[in-house]
Amino acid sequence: MTLGTMYIFVGDVKKSIEFYKLLLQEEPWHANDDRWVQFSNKIALYNKAYDEKIIDQEPNERFNQAYINDFYKNTGTPKNNLVVFNFEVDDLKYEYQRLKNLNIGDVSELMYVNVHMPYWYFNIIDPDGNVLEITGPYEQ
């Protein structure tokens, strides 16, 4: 088994596209209208509101009943913040400053952990509240 794509539920697809374009420093390489936007590194954005609009208009033409039932199932937990995405960079100090200067989301302070080995990282929050961890070599 291999990892296919990690996709993130987004509330405002246009805002999220701009955030991830700046974060990843690339344009999306594929998009299905405003429903699905794919970046080259196996990260995709999924706009659930797109499906909701279509289900309300034509529920039996594009989706089976199992999909519709699952779509509206209330699990009691939000769809975001269930996973932390970890991105590795070559120069953590540079990336930290780059993202702070872009002012695209809340950026934490640089954090250090040394349980089994030295580990530097910081977090940035995307427009839907997802935590993205950025790590890499850090020279003090």
pLDDT tens digits, one per residue of 77-106? 665 556 778 899 999 999 999 999 999 989
What is the signed CA dihedral for 37, 6, 23, 118, rounded to 10 degrees?
180
Nearest residue to 105 (alpha-carbon basis) of 40, 16, 37: 16
Nearest-angstrom CA–CA distance, 113 and 111:
7
Residue ranges of the chain with per-residue pLDDT less than 50: none
pTM for this predicted structure: 0.82
